[in-house]
Structures are given as C-alpha cells and as structure tokens.
Amino acid sequence: MAVLLSLVLWFVVLLVCFIISRVAYVTISCYCLNPRRIKKIMEKQGVHGPKPKFLVGNLVDVSSFVSKATANDMESIHDHNTVPRLLPHFLHWSKEYGKRFIYWVGSEPRMCLTDMDMIKELLSSKYSKVTGKSWLQRQGCKHFIGRGLLMANGEDWYHQRHIVAPAFMADKLKCHVGYMLECTKRMIQSLQQVVVESSTNENVEIDIGDYMSRLTGDIISRTEFDSSYDKGKRIFHLLTSLQHLCAQSSRHLCLPGSRFFPSKFNREIKSLKMEVERLLMEIIQSRKDCVDIGRSTSYGNDLLGMLLAETQKKRVQNGNGFNFNLQLLMDECKTFFFTGHETTALLLTWTVMLLATNPSWQDKVRAEVLQVLNNEDPSPEHLSKLTLLNMVIMESLRLYPPASLLPRMVFEDIKLGDLEIPKGLSIWIPVLAIHHSKELWGEDANEFKPERFAGKAFAPGRHFMPFSTGPRNCVGQAFAMMEAKIILSMLISKFNFKTSDNYRHAPVIVLTLKPKYGVQVYLTPLAQ
C-alpha cells in the first residue's frame, strides 16, 4: 500500500512539474522568444521602431502621446486635422523610423503600414484565411462581443460570414425600408415636439448624437431582431458600458494572468456580460417558443431567425466540427446589436455636425432632396439619385471613419510586397491617417470638400476604406449606407441645423471615433 501511495505521489509531482514547465515555456515563448524572433527578422529588412519596455512594450509611450494631444479641445469646429490629436504616436514614430515601423503593445509587435499596394494585397482573398484578429484583440473583446463575426478567424470566420451574409442582401434590405421610415418619422415627431414645447420655436438646442443612437438602435432592433428599441435599449446601454470597461481592461492584458485576477474591475465586466446575455436569451427564447408551440413554422428570415435556424444544423468543415452553438449565437447578436447601431449613429452624428458647420452644402443637399423626393417618402429608387448627399456621407466617412484602425495578425509566414512577414506579427493599418494623407488626397486633405467624391478617382478600396476592403469588409455596409441616406434625407427636409455655441470639438477614440462631449446643434423647423 505504501509503495502504491508513493507511486501516486510521484506521478502527481511529475504531472505538476510538467504543467509548470509547460506554462513556463509558453509564457517565455510568448513574452520573450517569439517577440525577439520577430524583431530580428524585421530589423534585418530595415523595419525598426521604438525600444519596448518589458511586459508593457510601448503602451506607456502611446498613452503619454495621446493624453497630451487630447488634453485640450480642437481650436476650431472647422479643423478636421484629427491625426495629430488621435494618432500622435503614429506621426512621431513615422517621422523617426519611416513609413513602416514596429511598436509594441505588451509583447505583441505591431507594424504600421500605409503602403496602399501592400494593404490591398494584405486585405485580398489571398491572405483572408491566414490573417485575422490577434489573441490580444480577441481577449480584449471576449466579454464584449465574444467570438462573433468581427472577432472570428480562419474557417470559423468563413462559416460565420456565410451564415449572416444573406441577411444583408439587396432583396432583404428593400424589405427593411418600411421599418426605417417608420422609426425615422417617430424620431422627427419627437424633435418637432421638443421644438413646440420650447419657449421659442427657433434655435432649439439638442444633442443630435443621442437621437441618432436611439434611432439606429430602434432600426436594428426592428429589422434584424424583431423587437422594439424599448426592449433593446437596456442591451445597448450595457454594451456601451462594456465597451468602455473592455477598452480600459485591454491595457492590462499584457500582464500575464491579469484577466484571472478577481478584481472589482473584472467582476464588473463579467456581471455586465451575464446581464447582456440574460436579456438576449429572453429575445431568443421568445422567438424559439413561437416555433415550439406552433405559432410559427420558421424562426423568421431576419438575422436572428437565420442564426437560430443555424443552431439546429450540424456543420462539418474539413473533418472538424463547426458548432454554431448558443454562445456563438449570443456573440453574433451582441456583435450586430452593437455595430448595427453604434457605427451608423456615429456616421450620422458626424455628418450632421459637418452639414451644420457648412451651411452652403446643407442648402445644396436639401435642394437635391426636395427635388428628388418631391414630397414622397424616400425609396431605394430615390436613394440612388441623391448624389450630393452620397458625396457628403462619403466625405464624412473619410474625415471621421468610425473605425480609425484596421488590424490584421499574420498566422503563418507570408510574403507581402518586398517584405517577409513572420508568423505572429500584427499589421495595423491607420485608416484615419490614410484618409487624411496629403500625398493621397492633396493639400486640402483636412478640409471638408465632398466634391472630391464627384468622380470615381477615390473609389472604395483604393485610398478610401471606412468599411475595410476585400473579403473581410463590413458585411452590413449596404445596410448602413441605405439607413444613413434615408435618415439624413428625411431630417434635412424637415429642419435646418447649425452648431450650438456649446459644442466643443473634441474627437476621441474609444474603440470607435466619437465626439467626446456629444454634438449639440440648434434645430429650426422648415416651413412646409
């Protein structure tokens, strides 16, 4: 018996030693060996960067640059040169090390890339399955949007894209126009009521961002999840809170094991995640119950219906099971609940700000809208004729793209242009800097000039990529553009707007590019 106990004890000791050795090897590889290997490979090719500090890399430097640059508001509401404010580290290091340089977020090396030919190759189908989101990004969004389409990689991304894409096809989008009109009319009535209740019927101040956020939330709830905004607003509120907390939390991910610390911060994130998923389960269960009790023969043909139908299927990919389970279903719901209203709301908010500060363009767009619509509700046929409005939206996306950076990690060694890119290197494309580049757009790159989109010289994918480009572009971009045109055409035909004296021009990046203090505008109803 004693011999048996001794053998068991030795086995346990060996197992513990093996586990400790394995963890130590993985940790050393992750935080020391792999970064050194990548650094040497890139330095041999002439790609250098600032010296990283142990564990934190250049995070402290980045934080210092950004905090100094954003300490004050921008000097003028007509000043759209946001790169020095939002990407000061990019400007500093590109001057010191050249257009291609590497900086470090913890132990993750990130190469900034602005060469358009190399970017086009990287984002093409050639590398769509061997590039994707890094561990740091995925871990940072784990409790926010999980492993939804935005954070999926490889074959999982391919299958998830295949599942959701039909929900955003042209025929489906046309079916959503009625909901978009109804929701927008309700918002306009709300604004008109605010004006009526005001002591003066002119120069009524509102924060347009709040209204746009509620409106786009209402639209995505109705069109893709068949629920009202009242049901979804709690989810939006919680997801916004999670966005801010996860953005803060990601700064600490470079410290080994930080995500396991039982801190108040981590407990709050997990608590919010559980509440979001509980509310989503109520919506999901309600849809499932309709089928289970025979009230409906299908889960519906909106996004939620397609996702629910997919959970009933067994998919096989290359001999490996692709399991679209309940957790993945909720992750997709969180992804589209958030991106379906946050990014479009920001696009609308920035566009209203630009029109409010450029009254001549506001007048031009209004004249076009009134002529094309001719007192009718906007339809898909009308939208294609609103060329000036489209130019303004494109210019808004150029100056204030909701996603200011496009990240791609390389999962195997690849050849990109004249560079050998090693496995494990993360490539970051500074979309904001590219959109403001005077080399690409001319000396007036930081000015609001929608006429630059009158031709096809700056077609999406060349110098302009607010929705990314290639196979991994935004699956909902057609939805977002149709929604934006409908809302703006209806709003501009009812109101004149100009920026409030209280508006402070202070763009910031918290995952997305947003106005720090909101966008306050004066509304004046138009004579009908």
Residue set of the binding site: 474
Six token digits for residue 375? 């007192």
CB 361 within 8 A of CB 355: yes
User: Which positions make up the binding site for heme?
Assistant: 474
Could you tell me which residues come within 8 angstroms of residue 19 by beta carbon, excluding any fewer than 6 positions away?
none
Six token digits for residue 336? 């589209």
Alpha-helix runs per DSSP H in 293-423: 303-311, 326-356, 359-373, 380-383, 387-399
CA distance 305 to 299: 5
Strand-pair category, 108-112 with 426-429: parallel
Q: Report the half-sphere exposure of 110 (CA within 13 A, side-chain side).
A: 26
SS3 12: helix
Give the rounded distance of the alpha carbon of 378 from its chain centre: 27
Query: Helix count (H) and strand count (E) of the chain?
Result: 20, 14
CA distance 313 to 381: 37
- The neighbour count for residue 14, using CB atoms within 10 Å, is 10
CB 486 within 8 A of CB 181: yes
- The neighbour count for residue 478, using CB atoms within 10 Å, is 15
Gyration radius of the chain over CA positions: 25
- 90 burial class (0-12, 13-18, 19+ CB within 10 angstroms)? buried
CB 515 within 8 A of CB 209: yes
CA distance 422 to 435: 28
CB 446 within 8 A of CB 433: no
CB 111 within 8 A of CB 42: yes
Cα dihedral: 254, 257, 259, 265 (round 10): -90
Give backbone dihedrals phi and psi of 384, rounded to 5 degrees, phi first: -70, -15
357 to 84, 331, 447: CA distances (angstroms): 21, 39, 12
- The neighbour count for residue 120, using CB atoms within 10 Å, is 14
Six token digits for residue 494? 């009812």
CA distance 431 to 127: 19
CB 499 within 8 A of CB 520: yes
CA distance 77 to 33: 48
